[in-house]
Amino acid sequence: MLLAIDVGNTNITLGIFKGDTLEGKFRMTAKQPRTSDEYGIALRDLIRNQGKDPKEVDAVIIASVVPDIMHSLSSAIIKYLGHKPIIVSAGIKTGIRVATENPRQTGPDRIVDAVAAYYLYGGPVIVVDFGTATTYDLVEPDGTFGIGVTAPGIRTSARALWSGAAMLPEVEIRKPPSILARETVSSMQAGLVYGYIGQTEYIISRLKKESGYTDARVVATGGLGNILADETDSIDIYNPILTLEGLRLIYEKNKRGISR
């Protein structure tokens, strides 16, 4: 079994693959500091809770945008699962060409999403990842990834709203029954959700227009992407496990070079 780990700014998402089938998915917070032993014990328990034996894990791959936890997490995997993880970083085989001005500064999560979208759905493809930040990345027909837009995520925008305005409460992020809001909570929900739909549609439209790829397929993933994808025709596909699928695909391209 392959354990795929996506370390984000808010959560660590983990998936267990048997072949190309995702057989289990679980999350843990990325904000809580942990020792390697704490990570190791947590990983083993979470794997068991999925009905799997940790000894069945024969490979691990990680994409991380939080460098500070990587030493403890990698050490935990070596100590408790018995494998040296493969880390998505510069020089790894991905099957696409990263043509940003500084590829080493391109987030591993964006590369992984681009790989998954390109190999699962073809190019040109625009990948929208609704996370702590919302990213819009374009992969061209030949597999070149060099264009990307970064915006605050919807939860990040929401926290800024209620932490920066003393009289506004913290609200659940969901679409209200109507944009014709008559009280504070639904007013904030309308602004957040409908405002974000507008941003999404505009950025996708501009990417298509300025790149010339007007027929590019749009694939969304992450966080509240399911809510937003259902509310706009600009998104063609919502795939909640896109990043994990990308990790699996990258592992397949690199597994011969993995040292045990």
How confident is the model at residue 260, as a pLDDT?
A: 37
Q: What are phi and psi of 171, to 5 degrees?
A: -125, 160
Q: Dig out the tokens for 167 from the structure.
A: 């009289």
The domains of the chain are located at 2-87, 97-246
Helices and strands counted in the chain (H then E): 7, 11
Region for residue 7 given its phi and psi (left: phi exceeds 0; alpha: psi -120 to 50; beta: otherwise): beta
How confident is the model at residue 45, as a pLDDT?
A: 94
In the CATH hierarchy, which fold is given to the domain comprising 97-246?
Answer: Nucleotidyltransferase; domain 5 (3.30.420)
Matching fold, domains 2-87 and 97-246: yes
How confident is the model at residue 164, as a pLDDT?
A: 87
How confident is the model at residue 256, as a pLDDT?
A: 64
From the options 3.40.640.10, 3.40.50.740, 3.30.420.40, 3.40.50.880, give the CATH code of 2-87.
Answer: 3.30.420.40
3-class SS of residue 196: helix
How confident is the model at residue 259, as a pLDDT?
A: 42
> Cα separation of 113 and 221, whole Å?
9
How confident is the model at residue 9, as a pLDDT?
A: 87
Which of 18, 234, 2, 255 has its CA nearest to residue 128?
A: 234
Active site members: 109
Which of 205, 179, 207 has its CA nearest to residue 193?
A: 179
**Tens digit of pLDDT at every position of the chain (260 positions):** 999 999 998 899 999 999 999 999 999 988 888 999 999 999 999 999 888 999 999 999 999 999 999 999 999 999 999 999 999 987 789 999 998 878 777 889 999 999 999 999 999 999 999 988 999 999 999 999 999 999 999 889 988 988 888 888 888 888 888 899 889 999 999 999 999 999 999 999 999 999 999 999 999 998 788 888 888 999 999 999 999 999 999 999 998 654 43
pTM of the predicted model as reported, rounded to 2 decimal places: 0.89
